[in-house]
A and B are shown apart, each in its own frame.
Chain A
């Protein structure tokens, strides 16, 4: 099936070349960061030690986990409309996990020592578990997606042995995001992160952002190829996204209640910093309001049937959900956990240009893998579409 990836139109090759250039720039920027030091090449500091890359990890693990929103209805609940889109979910999970793993790798001060995590397995460290669950999930999705697609190409039903793997992947998906939430939710003294709601909130944002991305991808696939994932499937995705988005907005409200009714400073500080500014520091306020407005607008567009059914407004809403959650969880959430620091001092953080390049490189790898996998799916599907006629 891989041969489909090396045959393509001019447009395909221009896109692939573009991604390769982005990856090269990202890699070069990362080498500069490793060698020249993050003091020079990033906006990080002694107080804000995690920034953009850890945000990317958090966000894309969510996207990866959200594959379960199509695989579970299709494989477990027998929802036939997702027949064409299930594989797209699985094959979106693969690059999303890759972006997450690359992003976490990019923060290491001594990347060549990464093997120490395996040489000295440490069950009491959540990062150790995160590494394990992410790798297992990556492998599960590759196996499941590839086998199911291979069977489809031959026109046979998927082999029986794959079923347990599919079920395991479905169970595993929420797990990867819970473990990622536990990286943050168990740290004493980081009140903004340390809430038992964290894992649930992560899942809600994931199930809003992931299906939204899948909607966008489906619309693109439908445009560039003859393969159509189906309007009903896309509408169902939109319904899932709006429910999850509603839960996310509800959870934000809960956070505000706990912080501002209790009036415990540690719980209020990060929220104040994010939404109104703290002690004159308002660096993230415009971003957070952008995120909130996008979320509110998307919620309305997705909840009202007329705008949900119109594909133009649907696409706009899906983009709004994606960026709203990207800003919130993929950036502000991580940074604000460090502000103020343990001495109640504020050190602001803004990513340096080099960090954006590194992040772009990670995205580049993700999009390249996504393009290749989707290209294969499309070519298999197009040939079966031709077969039908």
Chain B
């Protein structure tokens, strides 16, 4: 597979940003600065793109279908596993309907619906409060709409966690490199993180740079559709135009970009 120069540069940019082979200054690096400056919070993404995700839980029949997806993400991103839920790091996981959409639950929901699992993850909001509050521009919105963070610049103040109304961000309370699962397997193609910084789903920017789908979408057998919602001819554009979808807490004005088919 030949890689176009632009894609290569994008990948190089991300790897430098993530610190693989790039500079590992505590202050981040030039690329991070440039990217961070591209998108001020609250602005419509300058590229005109709006990368988004539609999740159709009805197409995931068994628990193993669900597990395959979370494992795919957590494995390639070296997400540490800790037993104690207080210290958990999670990029994508499931919550039951009544917890994922607490405002939507009611007494007369169909049998089994309340406890039906729904994937939750960072919504890559159009108007992300995590980006707004971060005092170091560690959280930033890329031109294509993806909200990413630079683990080398983060001071670990956790302000973004207080600000994200979706509970999407995790904080490394423990040294992630000591997690048992990372003793057994580390994906050499993705950086591990340090203690005392936050992390979350990145819509797999490292895969997007190679022209691949996010890992969860790839492992989902068509239950997770990813693409540019602003492009009406894209698969996701057509899906959003033809099916009724809901989002988590839309009333807050964050404009989340993860849509659910119920």
Residues of A within 8 A of B (CB): 34, 37-40, 42, 44-47, 49-50, 104, 107-117, 119-120, 122, 124-128, 131, 183, 187-190, 337-338, 341-345, 347
Contact = CB atoms under 8 A, between A and B. Distances in A.
B170 interface: yes
Given A110-B194, A128-B135, A343-B100, 12 more contacts: A39-B173, A45-B173, A46-B85, A46-B88, A107-B158, A108-B196, A110-B26, A111-B155, A112-B26, A113-B155, A116-B153, A343-B102
B254 interface: yes
B88 A125 contact: no
Nearest to B163: A187
A108 B137 contact: no
B154 A342 contact: no
Contacts of B198: 109
Q: Which of A125, A128, A338, A341 has the most CB of B within 10 A?
A: A125
A349 to B, nearest CB: 9
B191 interface: no
Interface string B130-155: 00111111100000000000000111
Given A188-B253, A189-B249, A119 B27 contact: yes
Given A37-B175, A188-B129, A47 B167 contact: yes
Contact of A37 (B153, B159, B161, B196): B196
Contact of B136 (A37, A49, A122): A122
Contact of A108 (B98, B153, B157): B157
B166 interface: yes
B1 interface: no
Contacts of B166: 189, 342
Contact of B171 (A46, A183, A344): A46
Nearest to B162: A187
A117 B26 CA distance: 12
A50 B158 contact: yes
B173 A44 contact: yes
A44 B175 CA distance: 15
A338 B158 CA distance: 12
Give the 3 A-B residue pairs with the shortest CB-CB distance, closest first: A109-B156, A109-B196, A189-B165
A37 B155 contact: no
Given A109-B172, A343-B95, A122 B137 contact: yes
A50 B98 CA distance: 26
A338 B86 CA distance: 13
A38 B172 CA distance: 9
13 contacts: A34-B196, A38-B196, A39-B84, A39-B87, A39-B174, A44-B173, A122-B135, A124-B41, A124-B133, A127-B157, A187-B162, A187-B165, A337-B162
Contacts of A45: 85-87, 173
Given A109-B154, A110-B154, A347-B86, A188 B165 contact: yes
Interface of B: 26-28, 33, 36, 40-41, 82, 84-89, 95, 98-100, 102, 120, 129, 132-138, 153-159, 161-167, 170-175, 194-198, 249, 252-254
B contact face: mostly helix, strand, loop, or mixed: loop
B27 A116 contact: yes
Contact of B197 (A44, A107, A110, A341): A110
Contacts of B170: 46
A379 to B, nearest CB: 40
Nearest to B33: A120
A187 B135 contact: no
A337 B159 CA distance: 13
Contacts of A34: 196
Contacts of B165: 187-190, 342
A contact face: mostly helix, strand, loop, or mixed: loop
B189 to A, nearest CB: 24
A109 to B, nearest CB: 2
Contacts of A125: 132-135, 159
A120 B136 contact: yes
Contacts of B156: 107-110, 113
A138 B212 CA distance: 52
A195 B166 CA distance: 19
A37 B171 contact: no
Nearest to A43: B86
A117 B99 contact: no
B225 to A, nearest CB: 24
Given A45-B86, A116-B27, A190 B162 contact: yes
Contact of A115 (B27, B132, B133, B137): B27
B162 A49 contact: yes
Nearest to B86: A45
A343 B167 contact: yes
A76 B73 CA distance: 62
B135 A117 contact: yes
Given A45-B173, A120-B137, A122-B137, A109 B162 contact: no
Nearest to B28: A116
A116 B136 contact: yes
Contacts of A114: 155
A40 B174 CA distance: 7
A189 B132 contact: no
A127 B154 CA distance: 14
B155 A117 contact: yes
B152 to A, nearest CB: 9
A188 B82 CA distance: 29
B86 A39 contact: yes
B206 to A, nearest CB: 23
A290 to B, nearest CB: 26
Nearest to B198: A109
Contacts of A46: 85-89, 161, 170-171, 173
